[in-house]
Structure 1
Amino acid sequence: MLDDRDIRHVILYCDSCAGQNKNRAMLVMIHLFLQKSKNIKTIKIVFLLPGHTYMPVDSIHAVIERFIKNRIIWAPSEWSTIIGNCRVNPRPYKVIKLEHFEFKNWKKLGDEQLVLTKTGLKMNSVRQAFFQKGSPEVAVKYTYDRSPEYDLCFELNYNKGGRKRQEKAFSEPERIYKQLLSISELKRRDLDKLCKNNVIPARFHDEFFKLKSKSSVQDELAESDAEDDKEDESSES
């Protein structure tokens, strides 16, 4: 059986959604991870064509959706157990729970270190990106061609100031959340009412009562990050 420590080369496949995968934050994150990795030597990421991106992760989403249909999930703490039990064969899903302090601001680091207008990178057109341990360069292709030639190579230099690159450690992105996120006061009021009226079972009340709320928090989702697409388009015009 292959041990994770024996892995030397990694190929990643993902869709071309700018707000999730195909952006500067992803390229910088992979590059910085590779420089710190103890065993991995190269990483290639392949961005699939929009409309042709059915991958194993899509089947996972479908399994979860079918499993939770007509089921009541009373509290956020139930989700990790439910998702893990959605599948039995060949084994239950492995769920890794992240804490708020584990989320880092890769977007900010990507914006700082990879300016599209300076590198000439057409982010929206990238199909493959290549990373090698020990190299500051990122190589990209705008096609799925397997030839050794690249369409563009550029450097990521995390080091500012007078010291040489090899003498200075790679920087780490800052944490995004210093504390747990607050919910809106309106949502908090509704949850308190559901608990007090025992609509939500008593065993979950403490979890909801501990939630913090702020008047400035709005009940809406943030817009998808499509800035890389916009900057790409402006650089082409």
Structure 2
Amino acid sequence: MISHFTDNYQNPDAIELLLFCCSCAGQNKNWTMFRYICHRVHIKKRFTKVMLTFPIRGHIYLECDKYTGIVNQQFRAEVPSDWVQYFEKAQRTPPSFYGDPL
């Protein structure tokens, strides 16, 4: 996902990448993530500097984290557009995912 964003949406002249990550070891603090970043800096020469920010444990209050409880983990998405439709219909009480009543 990071490659897709930096290759398609980020300014191609940008030489620094700033990432704000949660402190979950299974998601961001793993060797795969660090190897990927090293690859983008040293092999692909896409960035000259990458800065990873990890907040103090227990102090992550991102807006997107408030909505994780409304996502059905059993939902079967076959293509990305399935997720778009799912999130458009997702609901929390009383407003929907986007804050508008359905």
TM-score range, shorter chain: 0.5 to 0.7
Q: Does structure 1 residue 37 correspond to structure 2 residue 38?
A: no
1:63, CA displacement in angstroms?
Answer: 7.0
After superposition, the Cα gap between the structure-2 partners of 1:3 and 1:31, relative to the gap in structure 1 and judged at 3 Å, is: closer
1:16 is aligned, of 14, 23, 27, to: 23
1:12, CA displacement in angstroms?
Answer: 0.6
- How many residue pairs were aligned? 78
1:31, CA displacement in angstroms?
Answer: 1.1
After superposition, the Cα gap between the structure-2 partners of 1:51 and 1:32, relative to the gap in structure 1 and judged at 3 Å, is: same
2: distance between equivalents of 1:50 and 1:17? 9
Alignment of 1:34-113 (within 5 A): 34-59=41-66, 62=67, 65=70, 73=75, 75-77=76-78, 80-85=80-85, 86-87=87-88
Q: Which runs of 5+ in 1 are unaligned?
A: 88-237
Checking the alignment, whether the CA contact within 8 Å between 2:77 and 2:83 is kept in structure 1 is no
Checking the alignment, whether the CA contact within 8 Å between 1:12 and 1:43 is kept in structure 2 is yes
Checking the alignment, whether the CA contact within 8 Å between 2:40 and 2:46 is kept in structure 1 is no
SS class of match (2:12): helix
Please give the per-residue CA displacement for 1:186-232, whole angstroms capped at 9, x wherever unaligned.
xxxxxxxxxxxxxxxxxxxxxxxxxxxxxxxxxxxxxxxxxxxxxxx
TM-score (ref. length: structure 2): 0.55
Checking the alignment, whether the CA contact within 8 Å between 1:8 and 1:42 is kept in structure 2 is yes
